[in-house]
């Protein structure tokens, strides 16, 4: 009891009660500051995890969009090649040569797509372009009425079917990649 009286007189007499309240408020403020700091650190970590998840989602969406874009381009090329094959079989060499030129232009555009290399290697793109150029040149010679003993409709159709097969295979891989990430 004597200690309590001594504390009472020490802290509350002579204007020292201000010091007690200052100590209590300072200690409470320090504790609350530490709690606030802990909450802030926790929120920063949660924000960081959310930003990383958003970045991964954006990357997956970008990859999926690239795959879909490449798939559309490859499907267009397949359609153009099919049209070229039909024109060759109908012996409409002028139209077939023009369509082969359209396919070559489409190949040039598609292979510059950053995602296209995922489905056909750059070397394979070049080989396809060279084979198609050879077919187009043969068709142009036939369309001009100059008979070439080396020309074979069967070889042209076979070369076009080979290109079509490669694009169909690449389309299947792009379709698979375009699925759910």
Q: Which residues of 109-144 are buried (b: 16+ CB within 10 A; e: fewer)?
A: ebbeeebbebbbeeeebeebbeebeebbebbbbbee
Fold category of 63-177 in CATH: 1.20.120
Structural domain boundaries in the chain: 63-177
Question: CB atoms < 10 A from the CB of 51, how many?
Answer: 10
Give the pLDDT score at 98: 92
Q: List, in sequence order, every beta strand (DSSP E) within 21-163.
A: none
Instruction: From first to last of the 181 residues of the chain, give the pLDDT tens digit.
Output: 655 555 555 555 555 555 667 767 777 888 888 898 888 899 999 999 998 988 998 888 888 888 888 888 889 999 999 999 999 999 899 999 999 999 999 888 888 877 777 788 888 888 999 999 999 988 888 888 877 666 788 888 999 999 999 989 988 888 887 775 4
Give the pLDDT score at 4: 54
Question: CB atoms < 10 A from the CB of 151, how many?
Answer: 14
Name residue, tokens 């010679």. Answer: 141
Both structure tokens of 73: 């381009």
């Amino acid at each position: 009891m004597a200690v309590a009286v001594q504390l009472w007189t020490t802290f509350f007499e002579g204007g020292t009660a201000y010091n007690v309240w200052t100590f209590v408020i300072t200690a409470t403020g320090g504790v609350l500051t530490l709690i606030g700091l802990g909450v802030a650190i926790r929120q920063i970590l949660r924000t960081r995890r959310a930003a990383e998840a958003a970045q991964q989602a954006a990357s997956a969406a970008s990859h999926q969009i690239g795959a879909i874009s490449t798939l559309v381009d490859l499907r267009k090329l397949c359609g153009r090649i099919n049209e070229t094959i039909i024109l060759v079989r109908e012996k409409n060499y002028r139209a077939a040569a023009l369509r082969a030129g359209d396919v070559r232009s489409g190949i040039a555009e598609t292979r510059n797509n950053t995602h296209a290399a995922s489905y056909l290697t750059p070397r394979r793109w070049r080989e396809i372009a060279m084979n198609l150029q050879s077919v187009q040149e043969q068709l142009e010679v036939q369309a001009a009425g100059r008979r070439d003993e080396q020309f074979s409709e069967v070889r042209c159709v076979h070369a076009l079917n080979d290109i079509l097969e490669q694009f169909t295979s690449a389309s299947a891989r792009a379709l698979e990649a375009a699925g759910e990430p």
